[in-house]
Amino acid sequence: MNEKIDLLKSILKNSRYTVAICGAGLMEEGGFLAVKHQDRAYDIEQRYGYGPEELFTSACYNTRPELFFQFYKKEMLENPPKITASGTAMAAMEKAGLLHCIITSNIYDFPRRSGCSHVINLHGVVYENRCPRCHKDYSLDYVMNSPHIVPLCETCKVPVRPLVSLFGEMVDSQKMTETTVEIAKADTLLLLGTRLDSEVYTPYLRYFNGRSLVIIHSEPHYLDHRADLAIIDHPMDVLPHLV
């Protein structure tokens, strides 16, 4: 392991531009199991009568808002992932000039809350909520502490919309463009807590033409051999050694 850490340090030191892609593994480090995870998805379906891929959708938000917000508040907001050593290490790497951009599908703004500044939240963040009619912005506290299950706009009396990408929705085109641009100019690409066949990131990975592809995740995967360096460990146990 020490040899791989030393190699990674050398890669980062000689990298012109380094981009990190953060997957669900970083949320799991913080104590949050993704709702699509097989065990959790089964548990959700048993309790709500529907799976997360039916509940966390614009169709559910539009036609069954009480069910949507019952699920959203309990399963997505009540116990968000905690900040871990991965986040604080990335912030230190950014400050030291070893990391130039962080791309995440984590809707909890994990990197920015850890102190990172150049972050692309590909799927939005739970902290931003808006009335779809008058476009008034609302805080996460307003959504969580609404006197009713469904948080309503104070003016329009319509359900407030979390500004996150729901399952089946297109990602914001500007964020997609920013992501492809950052990956395309990367000299080194770090995949943290995700895999090369990621449902979210695979379409973007083809834009990487840099020198070093590095994977750090806790479980080995059959595509790991395609990386220039694969470290099978939790990112929070690896990244602090780099700064």
Q: Does domain 1-32+83-123+165-243 have CATH number 3.40.50.1220?
A: yes
Q: pLDDT at residue 152 above 90?
A: yes
State the Cα–Cα distance between residues 151 and 74, nearest whole angstrom.
Answer: 14
Query: What would the pLDDT profile of 89-100 be if each residue is shown by its tens digit?
Result: 999 999 999 999
Q: pLDDT at residue 15 above 90?
A: yes
- What pLDDT score was predicted for residue 37? 86
Is the pTM value of this prediction over 0.85? Answer: yes
**Cβ atoms of 143 and 122 closer than 8 Å:** no
137-138 and 212-217 as β-strands: parallel, antiparallel, unpaired? unpaired
pLDDT beyond 90 at 76: yes
Question: Span 223-234, mean pLDDT?
Answer: 97
- What is the model's pLDDT at position 2? 86
pLDDT level of residue 155 (50, 70, 90 thresholds): very high
User: Which region among 9-18, 27-36, 232-241 has the lowest average model confidence (pLDDT)?
Assistant: 27-36
**pLDDT beyond 80 at 154:** yes
Give the whole-angstrom CA distance, residue 28 versus residue 82.
9
Give 45: exposed, middle or buried? Use CB within 10 Å, 0-12, 13-18, 19+: middle
Domain ranges of the chain: 1-32+83-123+165-243, 33-78
> What is the chain's mean pLDDT, rounded?
96
The string of pLDDT tens digits covering residues 22-73 is 999 999 999 998 898 888 999 999 999 999 999 999 999 999 999 999 999 9
